[in-house]
Amino acid sequence: MSNIEGSARPFELCGFPVGLEHPLFLIAGTCVIESEQMALDTAGTLKEITGTLDIPFIYKSSFDKANRSSHASYRGPGMEEGLRILAEVKRQIGVPVLTDVHEDTPLQEVASVVDVLQTPAFLCRQTNFIQNVAGAGKPVNIKKGQFLAPWDMKHVSAKALATGNRHIMVCERGVSFGYNNLVSDMRSLAIMRDTGCPVVYDATHSVQLPGGQGTASGGQREFVPALARAAVAVGISGLFMETHPDPNRALSDGPNSWPLDRMKALLELLAGLDRTVKASPLL
């Protein structure tokens, strides 16, 4: 069922090559945009860290989190203000940016600002949505649904690729395991290579406990390093991580966000592991 050696078609993403024969790239930032200054500071810190480690970097943050547990939860600053802040991150920090889009998002307006579009896991089976996002002409990171088998991502990616957009990535973020719990099956990272798309691993949403705090999701951030190490050891093209200067005070996904001041040590380890794994053909 899976092509263990992988057959992903390599492509350039934001000016750098991606694929199993290339170094690991990083998508990272705060879950949701909280303020312009936090976005600039976080992106600047991550740029400095990844620059030192030669890790290609894309800044991620959402202007609207439409899938919050409670309608009263903070969702973000909205599209207009959020895009303005993301544009400032690009201008002042000089890094590409990624954000989530939803079924009612004006895609062309967002695509005119950001470099990569991301589809939420819950919407991966919505054919019109996936094809509309892929048709916007930007690279797309498709999150695998928490309810989906890894081999089913072949059908999801095929919908996106049918638009003619070849810059499609597939992202593992854990699968539902009973109530309010997710697990990561590392076999899925090898199985998803059959899509022909670069595989990304979401190390922070994979430790989320969906709805685990009643009106908000919980998380077990202490397991982020273990899962990230395991995923890089399997062999992946990219790593997705949400990070925050003070996760305990984050307005969204704090329990599963990795502290910003601990990112450098973790990325040093992961970059070294990635080099070791990719120095030999994957088995």
d(CA 33, CA 56) in angstroms, rounded, equals: 22
CB 131 within 8 A of CB 155: no
Dihedral sign computed on CA atoms, order 67, 244, 232, 118: positive
pLDDT per residue as tens digits for the range 240-269: 999 999 999 999 989 999 999 999 999 999
Token pair for residue 258?
A: 């990795």
CA angle, 117 then 170 then 69, to 5°:
65
Task: Give the residue-averaged pLDDT of 27-54.
Answer: 98
Report percent pLDDT > 70 for the chain: 94
Query: How many CA within 13 A on the CB side of residue 107?
Result: 20
d(CA 34, CA 27) in angstroms, rounded, equals: 18
pLDDT per residue as tens digits for the range 84-109: 999 999 999 999 999 999 999 999 99
List of domains in the chain: 19-277 (3.20.20.70)
pTM strictly above 0.75: yes
Averaged confidence pLDDT in the chain: 93
pLDDT per residue as tens digits for the range 130-176: 999 999 999 999 999 999 999 999 999 999 999 999 999 999 999 99
What secondary structure letter does DSSP report for 32?
B
pLDDT of residue 9: 74
Q: Is the pLDDT of residue 1 over 60?
A: no
